[in-house]
Amino acid sequence: MVIHILLVGINSGHIWNGLKEISPATKVYLLHSPNNADFKHATEAKKLKKKIEGSYCPTVLEKINPFEMSNIILKIREIVEKEVEESGIPLIRDNFAVGVTGGTNVMAAGAAFGAMISGTNAYYVQDDRHPPKRERYAELLPIPPLNSLRQPSGLNLKILEILSEESYTDIFEKTTKGMMIKTDLRDKIGVAHSTFNSAIDILEEKGFLDKIPKTWVMTSNKKRKKKNSNLPEEQTPTEKSIMRIQLTALGRFQFRTGNTLTSDDFN
């Protein structure tokens, strides 16, 4: 059985060779752009879904932003997690196949990275309209699972976990997910300064988080309201020099995979 996760662009001829050669296809997810003035991507995806279901298997449409790589990576990860959890399908590389042909260059890069993050097969389909003729047009890509290469653990994983659950709100009420003031994060971790700083440096070097340079930022201090007063507390803006730590896209993806899977899942 193979669950295909495929990209839909203006041309869709590559899809048929992939389904035929990487088989048996038991389910297909089509990642497609929304309709726009140049091309009705969503409309064509619906037509393609009907054709695939008539010849192969059930097909699900998933709308994505074709120019934002992170949403493509997360969508692939979401699909794999859903199938593993709801259908009880073992996360074996050969049970999933991510097609990287079709759509924008960003979609192709996101699909390849999504396969690496998720620990699934990825494949490219050669154009059968041009010579030479081939016995097979779908080629598996030698992409290793990122989990087994760069798996964080212990304190490093705990830092990523806490950052993924927290957010930072500035004086203008703008909230950034995955960001904390460095001292607040250290206090929540509860380890020595040197140990904490060493872990932060390692995670930054691996690209899992960024240090936002220390700067003066606007914060707010609440004034205590007067006794027996029904008036709300006043908030006075002040300046404070702080450093913030922010989870990167790679850190967010790696925490998700690191928190749920290990390299044993890809054997």
**Structural domains present in the chain:** 2-143 (3.40.50.10770), 154-255 (1.10.10.10)
Residue 88 φ then ψ, to 5°: 70, 25
Q: How would you class 133 by CB atoms within 10 Å of its CB: exposed for 0-12, middle for 13-18, buried for 19 or more? A: exposed
- Averaged pLDDT of the chain: 83
Check whether 149 has a pLDDT greater than 80.
Answer: no
Q: Is the pLDDT of residue 33 over 90?
A: yes
Inter-helix orientation angle 154-165/249-260, to 10°: 110
What's the pLDDT at 93?
A: 76
Residue 206 pLDDT class (50, 70, 90 cuts): confident
Higher-scoring residue by pLDDT: 35, 219: 35
Residues 14 and 7 sit within 8 Å (Cβ to Cβ): no
Q: Is the pLDDT of residue 257 over 50?
A: no
Cα angle: 64, vertex 265, 258; to 5 degrees: 65
Does pLDDT of 115 surpass 60? Answer: yes
pLDDT value of position 261: 36
The DSSP call for residue 152 is -
Lowest-pLDDT range, 40-54, 141-155, 207-221? 141-155
| pLDDT value of position 252 | 75
d(CA 119, CA 136): 24
Minimum mean pLDDT among 40-44, 87-91, 178-182: which range?
Answer: 87-91
pLDDT at 181 over 60: yes
Flag whether pLDDT at 228 surpasses 70: no
pLDDT at 148: 44
Region 47-71: what's the mean pLDDT?
Answer: 95
What DSSP state is assigned to residue 129?
A: T
Top-confidence residue, 99 or 259: 99
Average pLDDT over residues 151-175: 83
Band of pLDDT at residue 264, cut at 50, 70 and 90: very low
Q: How confident is the model at residue 230 (pLDDT cuts 50, 70, 90)?
A: low
User: CA angle 176-166-150, nearest 5°?
Assistant: 95
pLDDT at 202 over 90: no
